A and B are shown apart, each in its own frame.
Chain A
């Protein structure tokens, strides 16, 4: 795709903005609509857009498949790990009040932040992994047929 100049310039401009928006949705989820799932999808869109315009090879240099596959599992581990940590602190599974026992509601803030991060990581990685899996197979249609 050497010839789509406008697409390439606009993509370069947009990818940063999309990622920034993803982080905003992720970490501002306590105050505004959004959360881990939406943020993860938006983050994945940034990578997929880059992959569509600049070829799969280039996006896999930025975000290699082995890292994606590790992150798929890491997100779930972060989430479940939060629950295990609260169990070790003597509370029930996923009771975020345990993180700041003197002030349970700020413990809840930390808990929600960490848990949403876990969701976001898994969703991003799964979406990107599925895209890699589809795009990584040799296509049967040539460009002209579209």
Chain B
């Protein structure tokens, strides 16, 4: 399903349909995360990927044009690069432990420690929250700062607050004159 959607996105020319299909793609990958038992991630993917980013992409579409320009260059080189990268990634997954295997490095490093100590020290049932907000509090503070910075950056780039204010000032001046 994911692959089908991805191929459809690549083949399409109508940007509106592509925006919608990327939303579908996000929703499908959210389902994938649910089957992997990563409910928190699935939650985020569904809300951000399928919800907000679709709206933002549509908003961008309204500001630009509706159809992709046909490219003149041959797709051979990009296709080759993508194939090589994909092959490298698949080759990399061959070494990975099986899904849910008990001796995967992820289960042996700090994970058991958190699971054991969380009940006693934090005493909330959701260990994901206790790790995110307490053990890894600095990380989450950094993430919040990243979101904050991203928001400020977008605002400065496209909202044109200062420009509008300046124009208002000019209007005031011209009225005074």
Q: Which residues of A contact B (CB under 8 A)?
A: 25, 29-38, 41-42, 44-45, 48, 52, 69, 72-73, 75-76, 79-80, 83, 93-94, 96, 104-106, 108-109, 111-112, 115-116, 118-119, 122-123, 125-127, 129-137, 139-141, 145-146
Contacts and interface: CB of A to CB of B under 8 A. Distances in A.
Given A33-B43, A75-B148, A79-B144, 15 more contacts: A30-B124, A30-B126, A30-B129, A31-B125, A31-B126, A32-B126, A38-B44, A94-B137, A94-B138, A108-B122, A108-B123, A108-B124, A131-B55, A133-B155, A134-B59
Interface in B139-175: 140-141, 143-145, 147-148, 150-152, 154-155, 158-160
The dominant DSSP class at the A interface is: helix
Contact of A119 (B63, B144, B159): B144
Interface in B18-51: 39-40, 43-44, 47-48, 51
A111 B158 CA distance: 36
B52 A48 contact: yes
Most buried by A among B40, B47, B122, B133: B133
Most buried by A among B40, B64, B125, B128: B40
B55 A52 contact: yes
Contacts of A37: 44, 143
B114 interface: no
A135 B59 contact: yes
Most buried by B among A52, A123, A125, A133: A133
A35 B56 CA distance: 23
A146 to B, nearest CB: 7
Contacts of B44: 37-38, 41
B140 to A, nearest CB: 7
Contacts of A94: 137-138, 141
29 contacts: A25-B43, A30-B129, A33-B43, A33-B126, A35-B40, A35-B128, A38-B44, A41-B51, A42-B47, A45-B52, A75-B148, A104-B121, A105-B120, A108-B121, A111-B133, A112-B124, A116-B129, A122-B148, A123-B147, A126-B148, A129-B154, A131-B56, A131-B59, A135-B59, A136-B159, A137-B158, A140-B62, A141-B62, A146-B16
B40 A38 contact: yes
Contacts of B130: 30, 108, 112
